[in-house]
A and B are shown apart, each in its own frame.
Chain A
Amino acid sequence: MNIHTTPQRTPAETALIDAFDDRLSLLPGDGTVMLKRDDAIEAIKAGLPTRRIESWHYTDLRRLLTSVPDFDPAAAPNAIAPIVEGSAVLPVLNGVSSTKMPDIEGIAVQRLSEKLTDGSIAPGLDRYGTDDAIGALNTAFVADGYFVDIADGTELDKPIELQNLQSGGQTHVRLAVRVGAGAKAVIVERQTGEGAALVSSVSQLLLGEGADVTWLIVQEQPDTATHLAQFKAHLGKGAKLTLFVMNAGGKLVRQEIVVKTTGEGADFTLRGINLLAGETHTDVTMVLDHAVPHTASTEVIRNVVTGRARGVFQGRINVHQYAQKTNAKMACNTLLLSDDGEFSTKPELEIFADDVVCGHGATVTEIDHSHLFYLMARGIDEKTARGLLVKAFVAEVIEELDDEAIVEALEARLDGWFVAHG
């Protein structure tokens, strides 16, 4: 009697492994990079993560990723208008970067394919843990993207907008940015497209001493696309990072945020909005390490859930033993607008230092009836009044960004979503 113990590969796993064999000869990379790719595909061969892996408990990727499209070399989309007028646009069109580089003082841009070919990006391709399935998928397949280097002391007066635009098939992109000491920049990461694509996108950000960056992730994939993304950042001494994430699309979305404060006085702010509709699944998972003393972080996530959408926020804050005087606050608030919608929140605080201030809170609410009455008592019909209140619930987080051009741009994206889903 034979007993088969090898788990059956899912169609998606098989498709990924086959695709790797097909693509291998086309993927750029020196010896080190190619070894890392081999390593990464081995992790995928071991199986996509299931709910039995703690960090994937609410997003069983093995079950949810039901199919994987082929690579589609078809006509690439065109770059789109940036959300803030006058931004320097760096488009990645169906996984391919542009050869045309912006000419801005203090900024050096390179195609990521070159950094793969010469191996200089190799260290960034390492996975951050054994459960890093997105890192593995991206490392195996990444072919292009950008490397942006902002010189010390550079202060940009207009944002840089990195566009990752897909038109179907698979795209695996990496966006790496180094911000020099004392430099100041606003960086917009657009993730959108038109196809039933599988997108993996990894952003890595290195902030030098005293650098000050606002990074906005605007994800508006169609409800046919699977979007697996990761944002990794290291904050040096006195560096300040405000990360704003807006998820307003996608069929299956996982946005991971992995941040380490590695220098004293570093300050991290996360503001997130998840606008969830239809039969979609969206997961925002953050792992934040306070690794040195005197660092601060605040995280506020606001979710609007309609239809049969499901959402997840996992926020893990690790305060290392040496990281005294850490100040960390996390909140996740959900406005549930339908009986069939669902949102799961898992805050985790792992604190090994004894002199810290850390807290978290989570709420799930419906629309406040006294607010609704007040608006209606001014002649605003119920549907419009509800719309105003729902928008207000998330707009509050946007207004905190305190930069008129950015606030206006994001509110326009928000309005667009409400027009489509209100």
Chain B
Amino acid sequence: MLEIRNLHARIVDDGTEIIRGLNLTVKAGEVAAIMGPNGSGKSTLSYILAGREDYEVTEGDILYNGQSILEMDPAERATAGIFLAFQYPMEIPGVATMEFLKVAMNEQRKARGEEPLKIPEFLKRVKDAAALLNMDMAMLKRPLNVGFSGGEKKRAEILQMKLLEPKLCVLDETDSGLDIDALKIVSEGVNALRAPDRAMVIITHYQRLLEYIVPDSVHVLYRGQVVKSGDKSLALDLEANGYAGVIGEAA
């Protein structure tokens, strides 16, 4: 489903190269965990997948279902089924959360040639998704993410993911800022979305999240490259012995 080939990318503003020859393949139905120390390029990778303009791909390619997405803008990628759950979701005052959800769902439907959702159907979907994530509907009456706690923001991201039904989910440090109860709820939300035709890329710093969302593969990112890949036991190994060993092997 996702194939990243020899990807090189840099920050547009200052030309700093962050991704330096990254290769990664994720199949449909697979949950791939990306781990790595701070500054290894994890968040940058998530932004590049979503199409953020602050980064420029200088070499290599990203194939999604066999097609390059490099020329697609963020909205086109999202409509094609790529979803990024942000590490730090933006607070956008003045944009009502419900209005935002409705526009996003209907814009995606429109792009796929589907009719817009009728209001009762839209409300039902939101209510059902919110109930699963233990979210209060009153929260969704507020402006988008404004005044949400860290945990509420993360839940709101998963709520959007559920409603938009993407095919490739990229979760950037979804566990950061969550207490154990919230972590369980969010993980259950994510696990419920696991499906044979859906792939997930879970970016995380700690093994903790992977106890709840058990990955099929684990990849260690260091200095913009995948330096080691393995199954879930690799995450446990990293937890026990730290990154030094893996990085040492790579260096």
Asked if A371 and B90 make an inter-chain contact with CB atoms under 8 angstroms apart, the answer reads yes
Q: Let me know if A388 is at the binding interface, CB within 8 A.
A: yes
On chain A, the residues within 8 Å of B53 by CB distance are 369, 373
Query: In the complex, what's the smallest C-beta–C-beta distance from B193 to chain A, in angstroms?
Result: 16
- CB-CB under 8 A for A393 and B94, given A376-B74, A377-B78: yes
**Cα of A92 to Cα of B77 in the assembled complex, Å:** 54
Asked if B95 and A379 make an inter-chain contact with CB atoms under 8 angstroms apart, the answer reads no
Interface residue ranges of B67-99 to A (CB < 8 Å): 73-75, 77-79, 83-84, 86, 89-90, 92-95, 99
Asked if B164 and A378 make an inter-chain contact with CB atoms under 8 angstroms apart, the answer reads yes
How many pairs of A and B residues are in contact by the CB < 8 Å rule?
78
Q: List 24 A-B contacts (CB under 8 A).
A: A369-B53, A373-B74, A375-B104, A376-B78, A377-B50, A377-B75, A377-B86, A378-B100, A378-B104, A378-B164, A379-B78, A379-B104, A380-B107, A381-B75, A381-B111, A382-B73, A382-B75, A389-B92, A392-B94, A393-B94, A395-B94, A396-B143, A399-B94, A399-B143
Asked if B95 and A376 make an inter-chain contact with CB atoms under 8 angstroms apart, the answer reads no
Q: Let me know if A374 is at the binding interface, CB within 8 A.
A: yes
Asked if B94 and A376 make an inter-chain contact with CB atoms under 8 angstroms apart, the answer reads no
Interface centre among A369, A373, A393, by most chain B C-beta atoms within 10 angstroms, is A373
Interface residue ranges of A368-422 to B (CB < 8 Å): 369-371, 373-382, 384-385, 388-389, 391-396, 399
**Cα of A113 to Cα of B90 in the assembled complex, Å:** 56
On chain B, the residues within 8 Å of A371 by CB distance are 90, 92
On chain A, the residues within 8 Å of B108 by CB distance are 378-379
- Select which of A380, A389, A393, A395 is within 8 A of B104 by beta carbon: A380
Which A residue's beta carbon lies closest to that of B81? A379
On chain B, the residues within 8 Å of A378 by CB distance are 78, 100, 104, 108, 160, 164
User: With A378-B164, A380-B103, A382-B75 given, can you name 14 additional A-B contacts, CB distance below 8 Å?
Assistant: A370-B90, A373-B52, A373-B74, A374-B90, A377-B50, A377-B77, A377-B78, A377-B86, A379-B108, A379-B111, A380-B104, A380-B107, A388-B99, A399-B143
Which B residue's beta carbon lies closest to that of A385? B75
How many B residues, CB 8 Å from partner? 30
Query: In the complex, what's the smallest C-beta–C-beta distance from B154 to chain A, in angstroms?
Result: 14
On chain B, the residues within 8 Å of A395 by CB distance are 94
Asked if B79 and A379 make an inter-chain contact with CB atoms under 8 angstroms apart, the answer reads yes
Interface residue ranges of B44-62 to A (CB < 8 Å): 50-54
On chain B, the residues within 8 Å of A374 by CB distance are 86, 89-90, 92
On chain B, the residues within 8 Å of A399 by CB distance are 94, 143
On chain B, the residues within 8 Å of A393 by CB distance are 94
**Cα of A12 to Cα of B178 in the assembled complex, Å:** 68
On chain A, the residues within 8 Å of B84 by CB distance are 377
**Cα of A393 to Cα of B143 in the assembled complex, Å:** 12
Query: In the complex, what's the smallest C-beta–C-beta distance from B80 to chain A, in angstroms?
Result: 9
Asked if A379 and B100 make an inter-chain contact with CB atoms under 8 angstroms apart, the answer reads no
Query: In the complex, what's the smallest C-beta–C-beta distance from B111 to chain A, in angstroms?
Result: 7
- CB-CB under 8 A for A388 and B100, given A378-B78, A380-B107: yes
Asked if A391 and B160 make an inter-chain contact with CB atoms under 8 angstroms apart, the answer reads no
* B110-141 interface code vs A (CB 8 A; 1 in, 0 out): 01000000000000000000000000000000
**Cα of A378 to Cα of B157 in the assembled complex, Å:** 10
- How many chain A residues sit at the interface, stated as a range, is 20 to 34
Query: In the complex, what's the smallest C-beta–C-beta distance from A333 to chain B, in angstroms?
Result: 12
- CB-CB under 8 A for A388 and B95, given A375-B100, A377-B50: yes
On chain A, the residues within 8 Å of B73 by CB distance are 376, 382
On chain B, the residues within 8 Å of A369 by CB distance are 53-54
On chain A, the residues within 8 Å of B95 by CB distance are 375, 388-389, 392
Query: In the complex, what's the smallest C-beta–C-beta distance from B159 to chain A, in angstroms?
Result: 12
On chain A, the residues within 8 Å of B92 by CB distance are 371, 374-375, 389, 392
Asked if A396 and B90 make an inter-chain contact with CB atoms under 8 angstroms apart, the answer reads no
**Cα of A374 to Cα of B78 in the assembled complex, Å:** 11
On chain B, the residues within 8 Å of A391 by CB distance are 94
- Select which of B75, B86, B94 is within 8 A of A379 by beta carbon: B75
Asked if B103 and A388 make an inter-chain contact with CB atoms under 8 angstroms apart, the answer reads yes
**Cα of A381 to Cα of B77 in the assembled complex, Å:** 11
**Cα of A384 to Cα of B107 in the assembled complex, Å:** 9
On chain B, the residues within 8 Å of A385 by CB distance are 75
On chain B, the residues within 8 Å of A373 by CB distance are 50, 52-53, 74
On chain A, the residues within 8 Å of B100 by CB distance are 375, 378, 388
**Cα of A393 to Cα of B95 in the assembled complex, Å:** 9
Query: In the complex, what's the smallest C-beta–C-beta distance from A223 to chain B, in angstroms?
Result: 26
**Cα of A379 to Cα of B79 in the assembled complex, Å:** 5
On chain B, the residues within 8 Å of A396 by CB distance are 93-94, 143
**Cα of A384 to Cα of B103 in the assembled complex, Å:** 9
Asked if B89 and A376 make an inter-chain contact with CB atoms under 8 angstroms apart, the answer reads no
On chain B, the residues within 8 Å of A381 by CB distance are 75, 107, 111
- CB-CB under 8 A for A380 and B75, given A369-B53, A373-B53, A388-B103: yes
Query: In the complex, what's the smallest C-beta–C-beta distance from A390 to chain B, in angstroms?
Result: 9
**Cα of A376 to Cα of B99 in the assembled complex, Å:** 15
Which A residue's beta carbon lies closest to that of B108? A379
Asked if A392 and B93 make an inter-chain contact with CB atoms under 8 angstroms apart, the answer reads yes
Interface centre among B51, B53, B94, B103, by most chain A C-beta atoms within 10 angstroms, is B94
Interface centre among B51, B83, B104, by most chain A C-beta atoms within 10 angstroms, is B104
* B154-173 interface code vs A (CB 8 A; 1 in, 0 out): 00000010001000000000
